[in-house]
Amino acid sequence: MAAQAKAALLALGIVYGDLGTSPLYTVQVIAQIMGDRFTAEAALGSLSLIVWALILTVSLKYCWFVMRADNQGEGGILALMTMTGAQWAGRGRWWIVAGLFGAALLYGDGIITPAISVLSAVEGLTIATDWFVPYTVPIAVAILVLLFAIQSRGTGTVGRAFAPIMLVWFVTIAMLGILGIWHQPEVLKAINPLYGFELLIMHRGIGIATLGGVFLALTGGEALYADMGQVGRRPMRIAWYCVVLPALVLNYAGQIGNILNMGHARSPFFELAPSWLIYPLVVLATSASVIASQAIISGCFSMTQQAVQLGWLPATRIKHTSEDAYGQIYVPFVSWTMMIFTVALILGFGSASRLAGAYGTAVSITMVLTTLLLYKVLQMRRSSTFSVKAALLTAIFLSVDLGFLSACMLKIGDGAWIPLTIGGLVFATMVIWHSGAAYLHCRSQVRSMSPAQFFELLNSGRIVRAPGTAIFLTRLSENIPPIIVNYARRTGSLQKTVVLLSVTFERLPRVAPRDRIRISRLAEDFWRINVHLGFFEDPDLPSVLLTATNLGGPLVCQPSYFIERLDVVSRGSRTLPFRLQICLFSIMLRNSARVVDRFKVPPATLIELGRRIDL
């Protein structure tokens, strides 16, 4: 029990920052959307929509149903995509498109979350005095740069540091909410969903736009699912139902109660607090906003890792920051790229209210796609009699998601095109990389040789056997890879001892020694060694080969490590779109992280063989 409570506290620090800081700006944005129409009845209707949106979307959809669909503990829309069993070249291609596009859009909205969260917290200083007005943007930028700079310490370390602060935050906003409810107990009537329906019916067009503001209370839901691998399903549920949901509902109700009591909504969140508490509350809100940024950052890290493992993104350097938890990672390229875009957004928009126009659209689309993929997974996992129940459940969730999506699409002209554009670029990158890698693999298979053919060439007398050991790194598990065939033919020689070495990373922190190395002898002095390592183990190929020798493998003498550096070009007869695709793939291939760089291969023994491939 103590372990679960500790993990739930860690979840507050890693996962719930985005959802937890939504009260900073959600009610304020709704009030700005409605303007003079934000009457007492509209205020109660808005609160009703917020409360039931949290219950239906986060409590039921994500925490109760979507989290059941995990891929060996990992969450996120890509996990759902892989569980559909769809293939890019098969009939289920559209499920692949849905998963990839949803994942790409998470990056688009991910750059806005840190900007709007931190900026809205820092703007609380202007409630106390106008002196801070010119400095809110520089302060927000400085905080975000510092946040991205500490990402290399790992999400576990960051979560442990942030969790106590986040617990204080939720307790504080709950108490502030109770204070507002105390002055206007009638806000508790908003638990009745009819108030929300009346708002949408009575105000019609403006009511749909109001849903775009209500959706801001839900924008951390998709990142919550993507972060499931960080701390686990059960601790996240405990934290949500016992701490996060009650605190959010109380605070939103308190803000509406305070508006009804004061008659205006300049800054509904900070006006809940007495004047003497403003500065401490701004400090606490800023700290919580930093944690909100952490939630989406770690979610993007998890998404990147899954995309790389599934072959949808180029290999990039991924640093594992915990020996005990597979999901706790740091991706430098993603971290620094997000920082650049986030800072640019703050400088470009200048205020949280303006950023709200760009926020939510991409996530609303991802939520719709997640619901569709969830239906497909439920349909596959259950019997045919369950299909009706799955369809009914999907219809309920989908109606809510589509309502929010239609409202968010109204914000395209206010900046919502930015995350959609970024998401589109990431999606294009995924498709180009996967297609290029598939073409490349097919070409390598064609140019490979069966073992029987290669040994016939080797024994023909045309290939001179030289002293030493040649170690060829390859991904082919059956045929002889082109790198060896080309080398032997071009040089007319081959080392006396040859090792085909492949490395596979398992989804375990460490692999037991007995399962780590598999050795097969294809011919005299010709070996295949398959190495299986845990994700946290530091690959050391010289040590692996020494262990293989002790297990009955080849005796490595004067080793030379061979890897292939490919130059991919398009044939002149190809169409212009295909040539452009191959050109972009070639650029990504040249700049992707190379596995051999992490394998502790002595530089003096490394030989790179260049090969040009026409696709």
Three-state SS string across 326-373, please? CCCEECHHHHHHHHHHHHHHHHHHCCHHHHHHHCCHHHHHHHHHHHHH
Closest C-alpha to 309, from 165, 504, 114:
504
> What pLDDT is attached to residue 386?
57
Question: Has residue 509 got a pLDDT over 70?
Answer: no
pLDDT digits (tens, 9 = 90+) for 252-306: 999 999 888 877 667 888 888 888 888 899 999 988 888 878 778 877 887 787 7
Token pair 């990672």 is found at: 329
Q: What is the mean pLDDT of residues 548-571?
A: 84
Q: What is the mean pLDDT of residues 83-91?
A: 75
Question: Per-residue confidence at 429, pLDDT binned at 50, 70, 90?
Answer: very high
CB atoms within 10 A of CB 75: 30
How many residues in the chain?
615
Q: Residue 196, SS3?
A: helix
d(CA 486, CA 495): 14
Burial class (CB in 10 A: 0-12, 13-18, 19+), 159: buried
> What pLDDT is attached to residue 255?
93
Q: Mean pLDDT, the chain, as a whole number? A: 84
Torsion of CA 218, 223, 228, 231, to 10 degrees: -90
Q: What is the mean pLDDT of residues 6-13?
A: 78
For the question of whether the overall pTM of this predicted structure is more than 0.75, the answer is yes
pLDDT digits (tens, 9 = 90+) for 34-85: 888 888 888 999 999 999 999 999 999 988 888 877 776 777 787 788 788 7
pLDDT digits (tens, 9 = 90+) for 135-163: 889 999 999 998 888 887 765 555 566 78
d(CA 223, CA 295): 7
Residues 6+ apart with CB under 8 A from 461: none
Q: What is the mean pLDDT of residues 431-436?
A: 90
Residue environment code for 404-428, b if the CB has 16+ CB neighbours within 10 A, otherwise e: bbebbebbeebbbebbbebbbebbe
Q: What is the mean pLDDT of residues 473-483?
A: 82
> What pLDDT is attached to residue 445?
78
Q: Residue 522, SS3?
A: strand
d(CA 582, CA 587): 9
Q: Residue 153, SS3?
A: helix
Token pair 């009819």 is found at: 194
Architecture of domain 2-359+416-435: Up-down Bundle (1.20)
Higher-confidence position of 428 and 508: 428
Question: Per-residue confidence at 478, pLDDT binned at 50, 70, 90?
Answer: confident
Question: Has residue 86 got a pLDDT over 80?
Answer: no
Q: How big is the CA angle at 64 (ends 381 and 427), to the nearest 5 degrees?
A: 70
Question: Per-residue confidence at 461, pLDDT binned at 50, 70, 90?
Answer: confident
Q: What is the mean pLDDT of residues 468-473?
A: 90
Question: Has residue 204 got a pLDDT over 80?
Answer: no
Question: Has residue 170 got a pLDDT over 60?
Answer: yes
Backbone angles phi, psi at 97, to 5 degrees: -60, -45
pLDDT digits (tens, 9 = 90+) for 311-353: 788 888 877 676 555 556 788 889 989 999 999 999 998 888 7
Q: What is the mean pLDDT of residues 604-608?
A: 86
Domain spans, the chain: 2-359+416-435, 449-614
